[in-house]
Amino acid sequence: MKHTIIASTLALAVAGGWAMPAAAQSAESLSVQQELAAMRAEMQRMSARIDQLEGELASAQATAAAATTAAETAQATAAAAQATAAKAPTIAFKGSPEIKGEKGWTFKPRGRLQYDAGSVSSPAGTGQGDGFTSEARRIRIGASGDMPGGFGYKVEVDVTAGDVAVTDAIISYDAGGGLTISAGQMNNFQSMEELTSSLHTSMIERAAFTDAFGFTRQVGVAAEWTGGDVMVQAGLFSDNMDNLPNKRRGGDARLVYMPKFGKTQLHFGGSVHFKDLPAGSTLRYRQRPLVHFTSDRFVDTRGLAAENETGFGLEGAVISGPFHAAIEGQWRKIDRPGALTDPTFFGGYAEAGVFLTKGDTRGYKDGKFDRTKPRHAVGNGGMGSLQLNARYDFLDLSDAGILGGTQNGYLLSLVWKPTDYTMLLANYGRLEYDDAALATVTGDRSYGVDSFGLRAQIDF
């Protein structure tokens, strides 16, 4: 019995020992399966999310690619537009439209209108003195500009009184280093007063010697070099194209020193002139009483046989704020044929002027007076510039037995510039003559003449 009980107990123990691990193993397997199922579900969710993210990424990449393409297209369009704009001409306004194209092409129309009126009063008996007179002094039209390669051009014609006359007709070349070479009809280099444009002179006409000594544009070739404050001009010339062909030939040269100290501009210059004349030539020096609209000439050498003429000139000027002053002198010597005497004539002027409007000053550029630009122009809240000028103008055409007469001129002018490109000028002159070319009824050749002129001017 005992053995049975023991055997039974052992059997139960053995059975129980085997049964307990099997139960534990079953529970553990169930837990693993649940975890695996959860992992599978999580992996499925992650896979779905990855698929979603891949789709979103593909969409974003497609959008980015489209944006990049659009940006590249816009950039290409902008570049094409810039290239087109670079080739298209641009227009700036400087009194008139200035057109600038590619490769250095420019074109600017230019012109001026000057209308004068006034009177000349002379002693009775001279047969002169026109009373009130008026004229279209200058009506010019032309163009200027640049061309590729450093070339430039300027051409102007004057159509006053129905007669077409070429004034400037110039081809220029910028050789670099401050050197410019020009060919054509141009002003030769004899005087600051002559080289200053008629648009910018302080009197209705230039100094008496410029007209008396025959300063005029001539056909030739010239060179101009500017380096800092120094300018050298020189050229070989024949005659005005209206008088060509002929055998006149000569040369002119001018040296200018133009330093600037602060706001003060100084000017010192000198010039030399020589003209060789063909056999049988004559020269005649004479001058009007200030204004151009009269044909009166109270100083006149009449015709003088001449082989050549030589000229020398000195010039000086200062501009300081509203004040300016200028002085010039010109000597003209004639070599006459055979035993005839060789006279030397002289002309010169001294001038001072002041602006009566605040902030205005006289323009200066390239060795000559330039455009005055009113600080407060009409249309911009101001009245423009107002300038008062006084000048002593002297001309002596008597020497070596030649009695062409002497002129002492005392001149006053008032210049109003409403804008940069418009001007009204009033000019009075008292001209005192000795040994005048015209005598009064009593034979008197020393007397005075009064001249008064008004000018209305516009240019572009």
Looking at the chain, the whole-number percentage of residues with pLDDT higher than 70 is: 91
Read off φ and ψ for residue 244, nearest 5 degrees.
-90, 155
DSSP conformation class of 290: S
On the question of pLDDT at 85 being above 50, the answer is yes
Encode 226-239 in three state secondary structure: EECCEEEEEEEECC
- Encode pLDDT of 201-256 as tens digits: 999 999 999 999 999 999 999 999 999 999 999 999 999 999 999 999 999 999 99
155: β partners? 143, 169
- Encode pLDDT of 428-451 as tens digits: 999 999 999 999 988 999 999 999
Q: What range defines the domain where residue 262 resides?
A: 110-459
Burial string for 332-342 (b: 16+ CB within 10 Å, else e) reads bbbebeeebee
Q: Considering the domain boundaries, does residue 232 fall inside one?
A: yes
Residue 404 tokens read as: 């062409």
Q: Are the beta carbons of 219 and 232 closer than 8 angstroms?
A: no
Q: Are the beta carbons of 324 and 352 closer than 8 angstroms?
A: yes
Number of domains in the chain: 1
On the question of pLDDT at 1 being above 80, the answer is no
Q: Which of 57-71, 72-86, 91-105, 125-139 has the lowest mean pLDDT?
A: 72-86
Mean pLDDT of all residues belonging to the chain: 90
Among residues 187, 271, 177, the alpha carbon closest in space to that of 232 is found at 271
Q: What is the mean pLDDT of residues 339-368?
A: 98
Q: What is the mean pLDDT of residues 381-385?
A: 95
pLDDT at 84: 59
Who has greater pLDDT, 117 or 61?
A: 117
Residue 246 tokens read as: 């002929």
Angle at 231 between CA 226 and CA 234, to 5 degrees: 105
Q: Classify the C-alpha dihedral 268-191-141-222 as positive or negative.
A: negative
pLDDT at 130: 66
Q: Considering the domain boundaries, does residue 28 fall inside one?
A: no
On the question of pLDDT at 5 being above 50, the answer is no
Q: Considering the domain boundaries, does residue 227 fall inside one?
A: yes
Q: What is the mean pLDDT of residues 374-378?
A: 97
Q: Which of 17-26, 79-88, 425-434 has the lowest mean pLDDT?
A: 17-26
3-state class (DSSP) for residue 320? strand
On the question of pLDDT at 28 being above 80, the answer is no
Q: Considering the domain boundaries, does residue 4 fall inside one?
A: no
- Encode pLDDT of 315-334 as tens digits: 999 999 999 999 999 999 99
Q: Are the beta carbons of 250 and 237 closer than 8 angstroms?
A: yes
pLDDT at 126: 77
Residue 303 tokens read as: 């015709």
Q: Classify the C-alpha dihedral 209-214-218-222 as positive or negative.
A: negative
Among residues 312, 215, 226, 309, the alpha carbon closest in space to that of 270 is found at 312
pLDDT at 81: 64
Q: How confident is the model at residue 16 (pLDDT cuts 50, 70, 90)?
A: very low
By DSSP bridging, strand 179-186 and strand 230-237 are unpaired
Q: Considering the domain boundaries, does residue 66 fall inside one?
A: no
Q: Considering the domain boundaries, does residue 378 fall inside one?
A: yes
Q: Considering the domain boundaries, does residue 179 fall inside one?
A: yes
Q: Considering the domain boundaries, does residue 124 fall inside one?
A: yes
CATH of the domain at 183: 2.40.160.10
pLDDT at 59: 80
pLDDT at 18: 35
Read off φ and ψ for residue 428, nearest 5 degrees.
-120, 140
Q: What is the pTM of this model?
A: 0.81
- Encode pLDDT of 112-169 as tens digits: 999 999 999 998 877 766 688 999 999 999 999 999 999 999 999 999 977 899 999 9
Q: Which of 87-96, 225-234, 287-296 has the lowest mean pLDDT?
A: 87-96
**In Å, how far are 137, 142, 211, 261 from 115, measured between CA atoms?**
5, 18, 19, 38
